[in-house]
Amino acid sequence: MPTPLPPFDWDIFCCVVDNFGDIGVTWRLARQIEQEGHGSTHGSETKVRLWVDDLVSFARICPGLNPELNGQWQQGIYIQHWHDTLPVDVIPASVVIEAFACELPPAFIDKMVQHTPPPCWINLEYLSAESWVEDCHGLASPQRVGNQSLNKYFFFPGFTPKTGGLLCEHGLVQARERWQQDEAGLAAYWASLGLPPQGEDELRISLFAYESAALVSLVEGWQANPAPVTLLLPMGRAVADVLRGLGCEGRVVQAGDLLQRGNLSVKLLPMTDQAGYDRLLWSCDLNLVRGEDSFVRAQWAGRPFLWHIYPQEEQAHMVKLDGFLDHYLEGLPEESAQWLRAFNHALNQGDNTSELWAKWPQYDAIWRQHGRDWSQKLLRDGDLLTRLVKFLESRI
């Protein structure tokens, strides 16, 4: 007989929408809860259960995961394959998180209502910098279940004290500082990727983006750059545009390949776990990132970055991009802020970036310092989990 599962303090539900974004956020949240011990109502250890509908995608950022199993422990978290049929003996945890409006199974909601006391139900929303988020953060939405009512609370990550903040595990910034100051460690890291130590005037850039014609002009600009450029390119959706910029469209490539053209070297990388991706961001001079999870991690890297936001109909994503840039660019000299806004717009609109990239040497130092200052500013009012626990304490 299988070993009975312990009571859980947290249930987190995730529907994998865009391969790695939603699961990336919820996996980080689950691990931070378990590592920092938030909960522990059932003994000395916090018990977290993560419900995921697509274990194949999840396994690409959690290599130890077996997609064939219905339930398994990974890094202290119980991973439950989420499908139409719930386990017959399931008992809801004290806190239930519905990540990104993924809609809990009706049968699970029924069990929540039957539980005494009922769980605190949180709808963890997508990250947004738009002004309306402050007004909606923390609001309750009464849910009618049969002849009973259960509140669902909206929790919005964000960039101001009146929102839920950003995911950041304790000690992350200190670990980043140690990594970036360890020259021998950095040399060993580059060697592990099949690269020599970084040259004195060489730029190293990571690229994890969606498809964009802007990438073609960027790659062309990097080939003509006065100083050497090495592009670290995880296998993904941007590879075809990079190959087009190199003039080798349609070429079959694989992780480990090194392509060279002009002053640009392109190193293709396999997908990595989240810790490996953090180290890549910490090590590069510029990071091009996409979606939500890599976007947030680029900010904790304290380095210059460009955000390729998920495209939406009627240019709705550009409103979200500008909402973030209004916060991020505050305090920068006007000229550099205008350049950086234009650079983000060009990447997201598929525009030619040649003139923008040519100004990199002019703004590089300002941008580097701003990246470090920004990461410190974001933590002044606490990280997302710290704010979430405070929110729950007043409701459980």
Q: Kindly list the catalytic residues.
A: 22, 292
Contacts of residue 240, Cβ cutoff 8 Å, sequence gap at least 6: 211, 249
| Host H or E run for residue 231 | strand 229-234
Contact 291, 337 (CB under 8 A): no
Query: Order of strands across the sheet with 229-234?
Result: 258-261, 264-269, 229-234, 203-207, 286-290, 305-308
Query: Closest Cα partner for 101 from 163, 159, 156?
Result: 156
- Residue 91: φ, ψ to 5°: -125, 125
Contacts of residue 245, Cβ cutoff 8 Å, sequence gap at least 6: 215, 216, 217, 218, 219, 220, 223
Q: Strand pairing partners for 21?
A: none
Q: Is 379 exposed, middle or buried (0-12, 13-18, 19+ CB in 10 A)?
A: middle
Query: What CA–CA distance (Å, rounded) separates 68 from 64?
Result: 12
- What number of residues does the chain have? 396
Tell me the H-state helices in the chain: 21-36, 55-59, 106-114, 132-136, 172-180, 183-192, 214-223, 239-246, 274-283, 293-301, 316-328, 334-349, 354-358, 360-378, 384-393
Contacts of residue 308, Cβ cutoff 8 Å, sequence gap at least 6: 209, 210, 212, 288, 289, 290, 347, 348
